[in-house]
Amino acid sequence: MWEAPPLPKLQEALASPSNPIGMRMRAAYFLRQAYENAIRNTPTDENIETTVQQINDDDRTLDDIVIKTLGECLMNNKHGSLLRHEFAYIMGQLRDERCCPCLEQVLSDTTDCVMVRHECAEALGAIGSKQSIPILEHALEISPNTPEIGETCRIAIDYLLWKQDGANDENDNEEEKGEAPMLCACMASPYSSIDPAPPHPKHANLSTSKIGSILQDDSIPLFERYRAMFSLRNRGGSECVHELGKTLVEDTSSALLRHEVAYVLGQMQHPDSVDALSESLQREDEHEMVRHESAEALGSIEGRWEDVEVVLKQFINDKDDVVRDSCIVALDAADYWGYNNVAATIDK
């Protein structure tokens, strides 16, 4: 695990939206690590331990401070859409209901950025509070002409209802019910992320091409297509990457789905995904959410870095702010983690 800089340093990095975007992005994810350290009560270094003691002296806890800091950053439009949507994503991954009021406020503001509102809806689904269902339903109603919001809210609601029903998939055995369905070991998730939909247990018995056909079938509810997508991710390998890449470049039914496919390919970090992700980024008529996610996914792939670097550098002056910033962040992250792998600092 990387050593997190002390909390005051992280807050300083996020205090000014004029700080380099790569610095602010790293600070946000270090905040997530600091939160997780605090919740586990297992500080990893003297900086974290000292900070916890200082905050306790003020009758506050480290996790309180992290949530408050992320919430303030989410509400600050000067950070830009890309970073604000990352703040919302991190808040969802914390799975802490204290994040819900801030996320619900942004989601319910129809004047705010669609990409940020979408991420707030997805974060509420990840947190999993049934109290968020009415807020998600309301957001769906007030956003009839914004499919990115409507689809995200629908998936989040379906996921919360699925959990509320005991994670019960039709015709599953009793032992396959609970917090999440039991899966074949080869289908279990090797990733630490909280996903917007669970893989289906039945996918374990299907061929990769069959799961791919479910993902690509736009007559199927989006929630079920998401489940197929995460089944492919968990199975892994070149064949699954091919099915996901095919969806990324051939689907015309949902920008939301394509953006999630790009995110999943970034998690997999498989070199065979470079061509599809590059094609997606290069499509100037593609939704900015999809292009942004494709850029960040490319930045996570080391196996063909020379090819990836060429593509990302083509778009560091893109006319779309989100796409441009995503390419800058991807290049920055590759440089930072590739050449400073002894101890992390924020200032670089």
- Per-residue pLDDT of 86-109, as tens digits, reads 999 999 999 999 999 999 999 999
What would you report as the CA-atom Rg of the chain, rounded to the nearest whole angstrom?
Answer: 20
- Provide CB contacts within 8 A for 209, sequence distance 6+: 239, 243
Percent of the chain topping pLDDT 70: 84
Any domain includes 14? no
Q: What is the mean pLDDT of residues 280-308?
A: 95
Using CA atoms, how far residue 228 sits from 92, 199, 214, in Å, is 22, 6, 6
Any domain includes 173? no
Any domain includes 265? yes
* Predicted confidence band of residue 170 (pLDDT cuts 50, 70, 90): low
CATH number at residue 310: 1.25.10.10
Distance, in Å, from the CA atom of 61 to the CA atom of 297, rounded to the nearest integer, reads 34
Q: Single out the residue of 332, 337, 329 nearest to residue 294, CA to CA.
A: 329
The percent of the chain in helix, strand and coil, each rounded to the nearest 5, is: 70, 0, 30
- Per-residue pLDDT of 3-44, as tens digits, reads 678 999 999 999 999 999 999 999 999 999 999 988 886 444
* pLDDT, the chain, mean: 88
Least confident residue range of 53-67, 116-130, 229-243, 301-315: 53-67
Q: Could you tell me how far CA 82 lies from the centroid of its own chain?
A: 12
SS3 assignment, position 77: helix
Q: Single out the residue of 56, 59, 66, 60 nearest to residue 8, CA to CA.
A: 66
* Predicted confidence band of residue 340 (pLDDT cuts 50, 70, 90): very low
Any domain includes 48? no
Query: What is the number of domains present in the chain?
Result: 1
Host domain of residue 303:
187-339
pTM, two decimal places: 0.87
Least confident residue range of 9-23, 45-59, 68-82, 123-137: 45-59
Q: Single out the residue of 255, 248, 289 nearest to residue 270, CA to CA.
A: 248
Any domain includes 16? no
Instruction: Centre a 10 Å sphere on the Cβ of residue 270 and count the other Cβ atoms it contains.
Output: 20
